[in-house]
Amino acid sequence: MIEVKELTKKYGNHYAIKNLSFNIEKGIVYGFLGPNGAGKSTTMNIMTGYIAASSGTVLIDGHDIVKDAEEAKKCIGYLPEMPPLYQDMTVKEYLDFVVELKKVPKAQRKEQVSYVMEKTHITDMSRRLIKNLSKGYKQRVGLAQAMLGNPDIIILDEPTVGLDPKQIIEIRELIRELKKEHTIILSSHILSEVSEVCDNIMIIAKGRLVASGTSEEILKEFGGNSTIDLLVKADEKTVKDKLSKIKAVEDITIKKSEAGRTECILHIADTKDVSEELFELLCKEKMTIIRLNPMSKSLEDIFLEVTDEKYISKIIEDEEKAEQEKKAQKKTKKNLGQEVLEEVNEKSAEDISKEAAKEAEVTDDASNEIVETVETDKEVLDYKVSEEDEKKEEE
């Protein structure tokens, strides 16, 4: 449905987003998740044609959002962070205005406006001035205008920000309702919201896509090594000696060791389940278990980890390294090309001068020959002339 390729937006020297690439499939709810300033609104504004990208492309159902804007925009309904609501219009006046703006055929306009008001539960408010509505109702009007024109894709930028808990629940219910008929992309800086409403999560930080997939997929990819929190009756040395024999135990962090008890964290390789092996070993060694608590990372742990300054700095560092390598390679290629070119030039120059010399030699020979022939002819002629003269004299 949507293909985003290497999207970059630069403000001065600052990248608001850099090299974002992803695909949006039909009928799925996507969540852009990221802290403030991550680049969520920038991405959405580019995808909907509100602002231009510095580079990269967005195809909506095959239509380029820049080159084929009208067709592309028909497929999308957008609720921006600051919905452009006309405060002095009534709800109905505003929606009538938008439905006309979206070039919905005249015969369908009335029906569509009634339909979206009903879906967003604002029919009772249709005669109210927008400026007199609560924030929650204003947001519904924003949603209603996004739904006009019956677009396949609905994009919502932080749809619940600034709403009270009851309004948040209502908007979330509305989104679930919309999900039946539309592909939805929403943004939020709140993990629980995204994980509750969305099928697919894209974590964005500092303009980079740092993780994406279903919650399960992200947990699997970034969950990494699990740990076991263990408290046993044994001294530190015994714990270290015995437990390090378990292959999947990569590391042991001793938290506390006193009065014959040791509290530690076992770091387990990948997603191996070592509980059974561990239990059997502890029994065999007569190390009484007081506490054995397997722990794995939560989605929240992962979110905090991948949006952490250190994690992003590493990504940016790697990016810069890759760019420098690319530049260096380009330079080497260019130099190599220059050398080859120079060699070719040198050769041809040499060849040319050789050829010229050869040609000159040929011409020389030829002209020599001509001169010689002419001279011979002249001699013959002279001889003949003198012969004739002699004859004449004799006569």
Does position 16 bind ligand ADP by CB under 6 A? yes
Does position 11 bind ligand ADP by CB under 6 A? yes
# binding residues, Mg ion (CB under 5 A): 3
**CA end-to-end span of the chain, whole Å?**
117
Amino acid code (one letter) for 57? T
Q: Which does 34 bind (CB under 5 to 8 A by kind): Mg ion, ligand ADP, none?
A: ligand ADP
Site for Mg ion in 52-91 (CB under 5 A): 81
- CA 37 – CA 324 distance, rounded (Å): 27
- Helix axes of 165-178 and 106-119: crossing angle, nearest 10 degrees: 130
Q: Which is nearer to ligand ADP, 34 or 149 (CB)?
A: 34
Least distance in Å: CB of 171 to ligand ADP?
18
Q: Which is nearer to Mg ion, 13 or 36 (CB)?
A: 36
Least distance in Å: CB of 57 to ligand ADP?
19
Does position 160 bind Mg ion by CB under 5 A? no
Does position 41 bind Mg ion by CB under 5 A? yes
Least distance in Å: CB of 157 to Mg ion?
6
Distance set, CA 272 to CA 218, 250, 267, 277, 319 (Å):
17, 11, 11, 11, 32
Q: Which is nearer to ligand ADP, 42 or 120 (CB)?
A: 42
Site for ligand ADP in 34-53 (CB under 6 A): 34, 36-42
- CA 261 – CA 60 distance, rounded (Å): 62
Q: Which does 39 bind (CB under 5 to 8 A by kind): ligand ADP, Mg ion, none?
A: ligand ADP
Does position 18 bind ligand ADP by CB under 6 A? no
Least distance in Å: CB of 139 to ligand ADP?
17
Q: Which is nearer to Mg ion, 81 or 236 (CB)?
A: 81
Sign of CA dihedral 190, 192, 196, 200: positive
Q: Which does 38 bind (CB under 5 to 8 A by kind): ligand ADP, Mg ion, none?
A: ligand ADP
Q: Which is nearer to ligand ADP, 41 or 112 (CB)?
A: 41
Least distance in Å: CB of 15 to ligand ADP?
8
Q: Which is nearer to ligand ADP, 47 or 95 (CB)?
A: 47
Q: Which is nearer to ligand ADP, 154 or 219 (CB)?
A: 154
Q: Which is nearer to ligand ADP, 198 or 234 (CB)?
A: 198
Q: Which does 42 bind (CB under 5 to 8 A by kind): ligand ADP, Mg ion, none?
A: ligand ADP
Span from 41-49, 196-204, 263-271, 342-350 in contact with Mg ion (CB under 5 A) = 41-49
Q: Which is nearer to ligand ADP, 158 or 263 (CB)?
A: 158
Q: Which does 13 bind (CB under 5 to 8 A by kind): ligand ADP, Mg ion, none?
A: none
Does position 287 bind ligand ADP by CB under 6 A? no
Q: Which residues bind ligand ADP (CB under 6 A)?
A: 11, 16, 34, 36-42
Q: Which residues bind Mg ion (CB under 5 A)?
A: 40-41, 81
